[in-house]
Amino acid sequence: MKKHQTKPLVLLLLDGWGVNENYFGNAFIKAKTPNFNSYITNYPTTTLNTKSIQFFCIKKNKTINNTINHCLKHKSSIHIITLLTESPSSSSFAKTIELIKYCIQKKCKNIFIHAILDGIEYKGHKGVNLIKEIELTFINNQSVKIASVTGSFYGMDKSNHIERTKKAYDAIVFGTGKQSNNPIDAINKSYENAIFDKEFTPTIITKNNQPIGKIKNNNGIIFTNFKQANTKQLLELILGNSQATDLPPSEITNLKIATFSKKIHNHSVQSFFAKSRSNLSLSYILRNNAIEQTIICDSYGYIAGNENYRLSSINIIKSSINPINRNEIRNSSILLKNKAVETIKKDQYKFIKVIFSDINTYANQGNIDKTIESIEHIDKCIDEIVKQVLKKDGTIIITSRNGNAEEMIDNMINLNNIGPTTNPVPFILIDNHFQGKCINRREISDNDLSMLEPTGSTINITPTILKILKIEKPDNIKYESLI
């Protein structure tokens, strides 16, 4: 008996592919992308605004208040583990300051800041200025103290390099490792040795040679990083849930933890959005409508969330330990492409999400030539996927979760502008039945997407997918389809 052919819907996320004007810091202008350009010419195309996770109203957030009240009840310390960055897609420095002020307003006596230096902005030496701003803002308040500082290489690894995360964990939880009595001096000394924010060695701040802010019983912890995958390993170590079975648990009891993560199933942890957002996830809706679905990605592109247990399967390609190596990253994208094509041929899944993180990875290194090469390589990879889907009379959506490579140099100060941007991203709808049709009525020349005004936001992608799959949009999704 001949197997029924599934008409798949494939969502291709090309992270780092943003839209910007033609200037010397835009890697896409210099890259040869004949396949991508062909899609723009022949299929409905528009641009979308990216929607960074917006920090809620701190004072009204139940999870934050529960954590603060826990500390007040036990007369214990509150620890804010925060990513210090100027990238609005990763964290909000202004909201971190607001959170600290709210803790002061609520009469918290000991507020310890555990700073993670991002290292993706302006060659990676902006962290010291953000530390200075914290100290200056709270110079007259003795309850606020910077307890530890670590680079994102250690504090935000998400590729199971536990040996890195453990160094940050030891500093934050046990107060062991490199010591300094002044965070600014420690960072400046590191800069003098050409070790910048990302690789900054986890350092404990001390007074009289003793750590000033270890995590102890009955304490509260608030993680402020928007991207939950980046601090997942650190959180699991604190909870004793790490895959590294040789590590002893911290033995700290009665913690109250607030975080963006929705995947950690532990009574000590509360998500900021767990209840209010879970029934809005695409995978949740698809599962309730009996849609077989899967994700194909590498470990750099993977973002863990509570939606993943609702998937029929997930395929994670192990990323290179050294993301600078050109051949290793290229091999990773080839493996992703091959896995996607193989999966489409099997006719098993109606919805397939494929995440390519190569462009992001190269752009984060600040090397525009390698980034251009990566863009051209991805252009070839996605064409094989597109052709296979069209053979099945299926549909492809090409978009991105964030820009990056379209603005690699700050035009004003002529310095590397490394990291996610807030620029629009492309949205292309490829289908045999949509050829020659349009979403955005404005004409473009030379495939310059910067000429298009965004017709929506990335939040409109979910209702668009539901419409293509002929699934009724739930009442609690207020956003409209793009088609």
pLDDT in tens, 378-430: 999 999 999 999 999 999 999 999 888 998 876 544 456 666 777 889 999 99
Q: At residue 308, does pLDDT exceed 70?
A: no
Least confident of 176-185, 312-321, 438-447: 312-321
Rounded-to-integer distance, Cα 468 and Cα 395, Å: 8
pLDDT band at 276 (very low <50, low <70, confident <90, very high): very low
* Structural domains in the chain, sorted by start: 9-53+277-468 (3.40.720.10), 58-272 (3.40.1450.10)
Contact 41, 69 (CB under 8 A): no
Contact 430, 390 (CB under 8 A): yes
What pTM does this model have? 0.60
pLDDT band at 53 (very low <50, low <70, confident <90, very high): very low
Contact 284, 310 (CB under 8 A): yes
Q: What are phi and psi of 468, to 5 degrees?
A: -60, -40
Q: What is the pLDDT of residues 66-88, one digit of tens each?
A: 999 999 999 999 999 999 887 66
Rounded-to-integer distance, Cα 373 and Cα 170, Å: 39
Average pLDDT over residues 109-114: 96
Q: At residue 154, does pLDDT exceed 80?
A: yes
Least confident of 195-204, 230-239, 391-400: 230-239
DSSP state, 171?
A: I
pLDDT band at 259 (very low <50, low <70, confident <90, very high): confident
Rounded-to-integer distance, Cα 197 and Cα 187, Å: 8
Rounded-to-integer distance, Cα 146 and Cα 148, Å: 6
CB atoms inside a 10 Å sphere around CB 472 = 9
- pLDDT the model gives residue 413: 43
Q: What is the pLDDT of residues 335-382, one digit of tens each?
A: 899 999 999 999 999 999 999 988 988 888 888 899 999 999 999 999
Determine what percent of the chain is predicted with pLDDT higher than 70.
Answer: 79
Rounded-to-integer distance, Cα 1 and Cα 381, Å: 33
Contact 121, 413 (CB under 8 A): no
Q: What are phi and psi of 131, to 5 degrees?
A: -60, -45
Average pLDDT, the chain: 83
- pLDDT the model gives residue 130: 93
Q: What is the pLDDT of residues 452-479, one digit of tens each?
A: 888 888 889 999 999 999 999 888 787 8
Contact 120, 198 (CB under 8 A): yes
Q: At residue 304, does pLDDT exceed 50?
A: no
Q: At residue 329, does pLDDT exceed 60?
A: no
